[in-house]
Homo-oligomer: A and B are copies of this chain.
Amino acid sequence: MRHDQLDEPALDWRAKGFWQPDPPVPDAVFAAAGHSLFGGAVTWPVLAVRRSAVAHNVATMADFCTRHGFSFAPHGKTTMAPSLLDAQLAAGAWAITMATASQLLACRALGVPRVLLANELLDPTPLRWLAGELDRGFEAYFFVDSVAGVEAIATALADQPGEAPLRVLVELGFPGGRAGCRTVEQVVEVAEAVAATPRVRLDGVAGYEGGLPDDAAVTAYLRRLRAAATELARRRLVGPEVLVSAGGSAWFDLVAEELGGDWLAGHDLRVVLRSGAYVTHDHGFYAEHTPFHRIPGEGGLDAALELWAQVTSTPEPGLAIVGMGKRDASYDEGLPVPLRVRRRSGEVHAVEGMSVDRLNDHHGYLAVPPGVEVHPGDLVCFGISHPCTAFDKWRAMPVVDDDHVIVDVLRTYF
């Protein structure tokens, strides 16, 4: 299995979607050339990012957090795109949220100054590394949800030199949910274990309401999160600064209702919202579930991702095969949504009732209503559902203006 015949380094500069037969110019030079998305600088399929929509979404959520007195730690695992993390930090984000040790390391390499790792961290290798980085001025928080987990951290750090404490938030979950203590009593028990452990410091509580079914369940859960923070403060297991974190992209209106305001008397309360998918929004799950449907006066999001694919075959009436599939589009929270058809002539048409039936790795099955014409060579523009599982299928994406001129190259690091 050694690499004897093929020239692997020749692939290092290539990225799916971009048409690069020759070693490319730097991204900034490419972006300055004014290529049209349809001029041969990309091939199909390609996932394009609408610059104006991203800018709108970044500003909208920054404003939402300012208005409600929240600190914002947008979830960077959605995109793993430095240019988008940059934009979020420039718009005032307090930190970047991440999900894994590997992503924490990526943030540190990038120079992100403060990371909220919204997950337990039990692997001795990154724990020891993190202790060292905290001593060098990095700021990071992660979750704990069990006494056994606190003990695992203590064991990992037993012979680790240094001074700065690991800063943790006790995670509160809910029965039938993911990680996290199931009760406030368990939160207290874990907090007490933290208090008894050298080099670990409790900074607050955190949770994730995204798996709950409806607004009543989310509201009840957020109140338990608030009760947990209140109980930890009452017992002097946390404070005087107390961090309370929640919030994906589906319920941040209820987070504002339940966690907004100065409800922890005598403490310096920081409520941290962690929405991620908002940054590009979508044409599926989040288009349906965005809280802005319930609070239209506070703004709205604009779907930023366009997946362009070519019709390669129209083999029987009612069916067109397009050149995109599971390798290119998210398919876990709904299939791609046809938005427009672009003929080889450049004419653009509405989709007239077409829909995606299913995907193979590199093929999509497009159901075409009677009387609607699509031809081999036509391009179809799709919206996607669930940005997280769309971004992770692309190493580079063209950023386009509203005329589909390529203005930037967005790179991802999954």
Query: Does A340 count as interface, using CB distance less than 8 angstroms?
Result: no
Q: Which residues of A in the span 138-179 have a Cβ within 8 Å of any Cβ on B?
A: 145-146, 148-149, 152, 171, 173, 175, 177-179
How far, in angstroms, from A85 to B4 measured CA to CA in the complex? 10
Query: Does A19 count as interface, using CB distance less than 8 angstroms?
Result: yes
Q: Which residues of A in the span 99-143 have a Cβ within 8 Å of any Cβ on B?
A: 99-102, 105-106, 108-112, 119-126, 129
Residues in B neighbouring A129, C-beta threshold 8 A: 19, 21
How far, in angstroms, from A129 to B124 measured CA to CA in the complex? 50
How far, in angstroms, from A119 to B344 measured CA to CA in the complex? 19
Query: Does A269 count as interface, using CB distance less than 8 angstroms?
Result: no
* Smallest beta-carbon distance A122→chain B, Å: 5
Question: B86–A5 contact, CB under 8 A?
Answer: yes
Residues in B neighbouring A365, C-beta threshold 8 A: 178
Question: B119–A312 contact, CB under 8 A?
Answer: yes
How far, in angstroms, from A20 to B124 measured CA to CA in the complex? 14
Partner of A313, one of B6, B180, B314, B389: B180
* Smallest beta-carbon distance A107→chain B, Å: 9
A16-B414, A126-B19, A126-B43 as given contacts; A178 in contact with B82, CB under 8 Å = no
How far, in angstroms, from A101 to B110 measured CA to CA in the complex? 33
How far, in angstroms, from A3 to B14 measured CA to CA in the complex? 20
How far, in angstroms, from A149 to B374 measured CA to CA in the complex? 12
This protein's copies in its complex: 2
Question: B124–A362 contact, CB under 8 A?
Answer: no
A152-B344, A376-B148, A395-B414 as given contacts; A316 in contact with B175, CB under 8 Å = yes
Interface size class of A (residues with CB under 8 A): 35 or more
Q: Which residues of A contact B (CB under 8 A)?
A: 1-8, 10-11, 14, 16-17, 19-21, 40, 43-45, 51, 54-55, 77, 82-87, 89-90, 99-102, 105-106, 108-112, 119-126, 129, 145-146, 148-149, 152, 171, 173, 175, 177-182, 310, 312-316, 321, 323, 326-327, 331-332, 344, 360-363, 365, 375-377, 388-389, 392-393, 395, 399, 408, 410-411, 413-414
Given contacts A5-B89, A145-B313, A178-B365, 19 further A-B contacts (CB under 8 A): A1-B87, A1-B399, A7-B109, A10-B110, A10-B111, A11-B109, A11-B413, A14-B102, A16-B100, A20-B105, A43-B105, A45-B100, A77-B361, A119-B312, A146-B313, A152-B377, A180-B315, A327-B389, A395-B414
The 8 A-B residue pairs with the shortest CB-CB distance, nearest first, are: A179-B313, A120-B312, A99-B362, A6-B110, A10-B109, A40-B125, A8-B82, A152-B377
